[in-house]
């Protein structure tokens, strides 16, 4: 699977867990917010990124599903598979 410039750019921002708003802010030079959201959904679908339930008191944990209509409710992080696709 080859990643395009935007997909790779988003994935690079997710080495550490990030909130959706931060991803949009950090990737604003790559594409419009709706495109970034679609790319994030694509990366999740292909298991390159995982959506996590944020927690104030303890480490957030990955859920088995997420609501793509409420993307602001989650944090996102690249998986091991996603990091391998960065070709570092």
Q: Tell me what pLDDT residue 59 has.
A: 63
Q: Tell me what pLDDT residue 60 has.
A: 65
| CATH number for the domain harbouring residue 68 | 1.10.10.10
Q: Tell me what pLDDT residue 62 has.
A: 65
Q: Note whether 84 and 21 are within 8 A (CB).
A: no
The per-residue pLDDT for range 34-79, each reduced to its tens digit, is 999 999 999 999 999 999 987 665 566 666 677 888 899 899 999 9
Q: Note whether 53 and 61 are within 8 A (CB).
A: yes
Q: Tell me what pLDDT residue 42 has.
A: 96
d(CA 88, CA 86): 6
Q: Tell me what pLDDT residue 39 has.
A: 96
Report the domain count for the chain. 1
Across 1-88, the runs of DSSP E, i.e. the strands, are 18-19, 49-53, 61-62, 75-78
Residue 60 belongs to domain spanning: 5-84
d(CA 57, CA 35): 32
d(CA 22, CA 75): 10
């Amino acid at each position: 699977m080859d990643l395009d410039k935007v997909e790779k750019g988003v994935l690079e921002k997710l080495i550490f867990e990030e909130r959706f708003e931060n991803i949009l802010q950090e990737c604003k030079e790559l594409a419009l917010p709706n495109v970034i959201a679609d790319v994030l959904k694509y990366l999740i679908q292909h298991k390159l990124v995982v959506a996590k339930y944020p927690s104030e008191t303890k480490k957030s944990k990955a859920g088995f599903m997420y609501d793509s209509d409420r993307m602001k409710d989650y944090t996102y992080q690249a998986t091991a598979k996603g990091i391998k696709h960065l070709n570092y």
